[in-house]
């Protein structure tokens, strides 16, 4: 539990409404969720920006999890990134009600000197140009992965392609894989993402699980089935955090470790959606991770066919 993870991403205040409740200006953001998830398994160094409206107890919650906040810049008089969204009955996707970038609009990630040699790096969903800036600042990383979104695929494609040519793994949802490659067939589309540079692509499919694809083949897991999904916000980021946190924990990036990391990401995402903000992740300890991981193994285990007659 000593190899650290660097995470660069948004730190936000979210106002979320789902059929199961409502929270106003609770701690959120891709950088936050992924850091808090990774923090279960590895020390995290977080780079982001907040206004001085960001609650001190939220920062204390992150620090208590082992998240180093030297890289989090507070802008005096500034407003923290605020997102407001609502999920309907089926929880499939959020309807964004309001986005106020605040200080995040001028985010320019500057890595403290002590962060530059962090071995495991996750570039959460931010402007690809900023992801490139982070890649320029880090030295000899062992493993880098990036997230992105439809907005950048459409609007900052050239920069995004540069990012993809420089990271070890891309994390995309199924729609983004199709949009990026212009290819409806997911198997073909994932291979085309590999052509852009990364050794691995993880295709996130929401409630249908996730698939890790490399030149050598694929590895798929269902999502961890839960009757009590309260708030899907942060699921993908928690998945990412669990994934890279596990790699750092093991300090390995071979195929076997990648598969295990996908399972850990799946477990962290499942914990996230069981409650609002960071409350779901807070309820999962390492024992719980082990239990759900073993549950997942049982959910995909099947024996070989009888010998040919």
Question: 86 vs 166, which CB is nearer to a second copy?
Answer: 86
Question: 76 vs 298, which CB is nearer to a second copy?
Answer: 298
Residues of this chain that bind a second copy (CB under 8 A): 1, 89-91, 178, 184-188, 191, 205, 207-209, 211, 217-222, 225-227, 229, 250, 256, 259-260, 262-263, 286, 289-290, 293-295, 297-306, 308-309
Nearest-approach distance from CB 293 to a second copy, in angstroms: 6
Q: Tell me if 141 sits within 8 A of 118, measured CB to CB.
A: yes
Nearest-approach distance from CB 150 to a second copy, in angstroms: 16
Q: In degrees, to the nearest 5, what angle opens at C-alpha 274 toward C-alphas 269 and 278?
A: 75
CA distance 41 to 66: 10
Question: 151 vs 290, which CB is nearer to a second copy?
Answer: 290
Task: Tokens for 283, please give them.
Answer: 């309820």
How deeply is 137 buried, as exposed, middle or buried, from its count of CB atoms within 10 A (0-12, 13-18, 19+)?
Answer: middle
Nearest-approach distance from CB 203 to a second copy, in angstroms: 10
Question: 55 vs 288, which CB is nearer to a second copy?
Answer: 288
Nearest-approach distance from CB 249 to a second copy, in angstroms: 9
Q: Tell me if 265 sits within 8 A of 246, measured CB to CB.
A: yes
Task: Tokens for 273, please give them.
Answer: 């959606």
CA distance 93 to 218: 26
Nearest-approach distance from CB 241 to a second copy, in angstroms: 17
Question: 110 vs 259, which CB is nearer to a second copy?
Answer: 259
Nearest-approach distance from CB 267 to a second copy, in angstroms: 10
Question: 196 vs 257, which CB is nearer to a second copy?
Answer: 257
CA distance 93 to 97: 13
CA distance 254 to 208: 25
Task: Tokens for 212, please give them.
Answer: 């890790």
Of 47, 39, 14, nearest in space to 241 by CA? 39
Phi, psi of 119 (to 5 degrees): -70, -35
Nearest-approach distance from CB 159 to a second copy, in angstroms: 27
Q: Tell me if 264 sits within 8 A of 243, measured CB to CB.
A: yes
Of 147, 117, 152, nearest in space to 240 by CA? 147
Question: 56 vs 305, which CB is nearer to a second copy?
Answer: 305
């Amino acid at each position: 539990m000593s190899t650290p993870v660097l995470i660069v991403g948004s730190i936000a205040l979210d106002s979320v409404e789902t059929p199961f409740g409502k929270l106003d200006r609770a701690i959120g953001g891709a950088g936050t969720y992924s850091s808090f998830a990774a923090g279960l398994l590895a020390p995290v160094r977080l780079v982001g920006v907040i206004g001085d409206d960001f609650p001190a107890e939220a920062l204390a919650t992150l620090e208590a999890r082992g998240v180093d906040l030297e890289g989090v810049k507070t802008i005096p008089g500034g407003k923290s990134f605020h997102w407001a969204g609502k999920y309907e009955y089926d929880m499939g996707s959020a309807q964004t009600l309001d986005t106020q970038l605040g200080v995040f609009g001028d985010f320019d990630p500057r890595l403290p000197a002590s962060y530059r040699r962090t071995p495991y790096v996750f570039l959460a969903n931010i402007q690809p140009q900023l992801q490139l800036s982070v890649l320029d600042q880090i030295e000899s990383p062992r493993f880098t992965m990036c997230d992105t979104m439809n907005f950048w695929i459409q609007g900052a494609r050239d920069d995004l392609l540069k990012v993809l040519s420089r990271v070890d793994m891309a994390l995309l949802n199924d729609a983004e894989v199709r949009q990026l490659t212009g290819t409806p067939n997911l198997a073909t589309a994932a291979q085309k993402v590999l052509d852009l540079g990364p050794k691995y692509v993880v295709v996130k499919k929401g409630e249908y699980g996730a698939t890790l694809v490399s030149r050598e083949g694929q590895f798929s897991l269902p999502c961890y089935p839960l009757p009590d999904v309260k708030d899907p916000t942060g699921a993908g980021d928690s998945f990412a955090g669990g994934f890279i946190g596990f790699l750092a924990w093991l300090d390995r990036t071979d195929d076997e470790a990648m598969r295990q990391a996908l399972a850990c990401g799946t477990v962290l995402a499942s914990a996230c959606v069981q409650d609002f903000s960071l409350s779901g992740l807070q309820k999962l300890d390492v024992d719980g991770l082990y239990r759900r991981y073993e549950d997942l193994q049982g959910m995909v285990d099947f024996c070989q066919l009888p010998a040919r007659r």
